[in-house]
Amino acid sequence: MSYSAPVDRISFSLKHEAGFDRLYDAIPELDADLISSILEEAGKFTTEVIAPTNRIGDEEKAHLEAQGVVVPDAFKDAYKQLVDNGWPTLSASEKYGGQGLPISLANAVFEMLNSNIAFTLCQMLTSGAVEALEAHASEAQKDKYLHQIISGNWSATMNLTEPQAGSDVGAVKTKAEPQPDGTYKIYGTKIYITYGDHDMTENIIHLVLARTPGAPEGTKGISLFIVPKFFVNDDGSLGDRNDVKCIGLEDKLGIHASPTCVMSFGENDGATGWLIGAENTGMAAMFTMMNNARLNVGIQGVGLAEQATQLAMSYAADRVQGRAPDAERGDNTPVPISTHPDVRNMLMTMRALTDAARAICYENGVFHDLAHFGGDERAKAFNELLTPISKAFSTDIANEVSSLAVQIHGGMGFVEETGIAQFARDAKILPIYEGTNGIQAIDLINRKLPLANGAILSEYLTQIEETITHCASEETLKELSAALENGLADLRAATDFMMTHPDKLDRLYGATDYLTLFGLVAGGHYLARGALGTMKTNEMTHKVKTATFFMDRLLPRTKGHLASILSAKEHLDNEEIFHIVG
């Protein structure tokens, strides 16, 4: 079986789990039939055009040649169709050639596009750059660059990381020297730059973090610059090449066809760059781009997990091995491995985790839209609260789901012939880039829990309580309701610890467990909403079974995470740990 875009699941999740219908009030011109047709067309496009390139890219990889980076031909063909069909323009501003549709809709399409993560990374970084430019660039800069970037004719990158500056962004050393004409000369090396060079677009617009002379130390002294691969003339045509090039490609565990570049700026006369905003304000602009990327990485996790689940289910249904576990004595009829209890448990775990992560990411996007289109400040805060959970929980489950997919394939999962190993390799980067999941956990407890003095978190937990109450009123969902109530009690206990415990280190030791616990309860909340939606509409009736499985088999993990949070310092606040581990 090959990937088939789960349009019905996606539509159901948007409507019943993520509350997409709230946007019809915020965006009066939004039309349900239009949304449905876009999702259907996206499903067809990704199933027929994008997904088939996934294995091709993994095997052919990206290569650095004399003229620059070359990606597989299949990628170039798929990218042309992507642009010709207008998919990059969905949620971009109409002022610059976009369609102005909700980002939550674009996220749903993005999930399907992530049937090939290595391919879609180009668009992911580009959309983040668009958001940063719209928020922070001058009108002249927007007019010069945004139309072509939004159309997909040009792509864009984020140039943050250096050999000594990864998560510690303040250690950036790339220099930006001001010139008499108002431009800057950029000198430095950036590493791990996704699609830093490639041959799918006419031009690449690099957003580069650098320091001007005399800038303050740390993140307060960082500025952001536009550094195009080719200069853009006043009439929009392309001019000479800038002094920027890819000098190496990383040999990676996964996402082989995504060129991860070592970029050299100013190797000759200096790369010419244009300042975005004021000097020393680069981090604000970069975080606009980063927050966009973090939600998108979470959606990457959902897309990968969905595809791995589909392929594992297909294999389990086709692979005949052993007799039925409840077969009568003497009945040696071989059965599909999907008959065996352990395999069934793995398959249901994959489905439940994938559906839960999808719904978290989707409401995250709906909150973004309610803030953007309706000016809802509460929604903006909910969007901020959910972003680290979307990124970390969804990418963690992508690794669990892809590992289970390999396990279900048995020995064939460990060889490259079946292609399932690619998902385990590709998934490993997701908890690492765009801010490691450990950093997401720190962000959650230090910055997001205190939003509005804890009022935003309190209101979100109240929403979960309301879901519990609604489920309790349905006879079929009473046990589900009780299980979610138990999970919420664990989250409240963990939250109380995080909000009131005086020892900062003690809180940090438990931060990752807290984020995972939060993700499990949030996931249960959305699956319960889905079960309620099924009761009302009789659609997707299997969602009740998925939600019940999640509550009974997966949500109890909260107990272990709570215990770990409360005992973490006892085991980790010990200088002898280096001797113990070593």
Q: What is the pLDDT of residue 1?
A: 62
The residues annotated with a catalytic role in the active site are 434
Q: What is the pLDDT of residue 292?
A: 85
Give the count of beta carbons closer than 10 Å to the beta carbon of residue 194.
22
Q: What is the pLDDT of residue 246?
A: 99
Pick from 205, 212, 76: which is nearest to 146 by CA?
205
Q: What is the pLDDT of residue 167?
A: 81
Where would I find the beta strands (DSSP E) of 380-484? none
Cα(21)–Cα(8) distance, rounded to whole angstroms? 16
Q: What is the pLDDT of residue 578?
A: 76
Residue that has been written with the tokens 């939550």 in this structure? 104
Q: What is the pLDDT of residue 398?
A: 99
Total-model pTM: 0.96
Pick from 147, 137, 43: which is nearest to 92 by CA?
147
With beta carbons less than 8 A apart as the criterion, state whether 508 and 442 touch. Answer: yes
**CA quadruple 445, 438, 565, 384: dihedral sign:** positive
Cα(515)–Cα(323) distance, rounded to whole angstroms? 42
Where would I find the beta strands (DSSP E) of 325-443? 334-336
Angle between helices 455-472 and 511-537 (to 10 degrees): 40
Q: How many residues does the chain have?
A: 582
Radius of gyration (C-alpha) of the chain in whole angstroms: 24
Task: For residue 156, list its beta bridge partners.
Answer: 205
| DSSP annotation string for 344-393 | HHHHHHHHHHHHHHHHHHHHHHHHHHHHHHH--HHHHHHHHHHHHHHHHH
Residues 6+ apart with CB under 8 A from 73: none
196: DSSP letter: S
Residues 6+ apart with CB under 8 A from 489: none
**375-408 burial by CB neighbour count: b if 16+ within 10 A, else e?**
ebeebbbbbbbbbbbbbbbbbbbbbebbbbbbbb
Give the count of beta carbons closer than 10 Å to the beta carbon of residue 219.
18
Pick from 222, 197, 200, 219: which is nearest to 209 by CA?
222
545 burial class (0-12, 13-18, 19+ CB within 10 angstroms)?
A: middle
What domains lie within the chain, and their CATH numbers?
Answer: 51-85+116-279 (2.40.110.20), 450-572 (1.20.120)
453: DSSP letter: G
Separation in Å, CA 217 to CA 124, 172, 188, 494, 557 = 30, 10, 17, 36, 43
Q: What is the pLDDT of residue 452?
A: 97
72 burial class (0-12, 13-18, 19+ CB within 10 angstroms)?
A: buried
Cα(350)–Cα(37) distance, rounded to whole angstroms? 28
As given in the structure block, the two tokens for residue 97 are 């050639």
List of the chain residues with pLDDT < 70: 1
Cα(548)–Cα(74) distance, rounded to whole angstroms? 42
With beta carbons less than 8 A apart as the criterion, state whether 105 and 89 touch. Answer: no
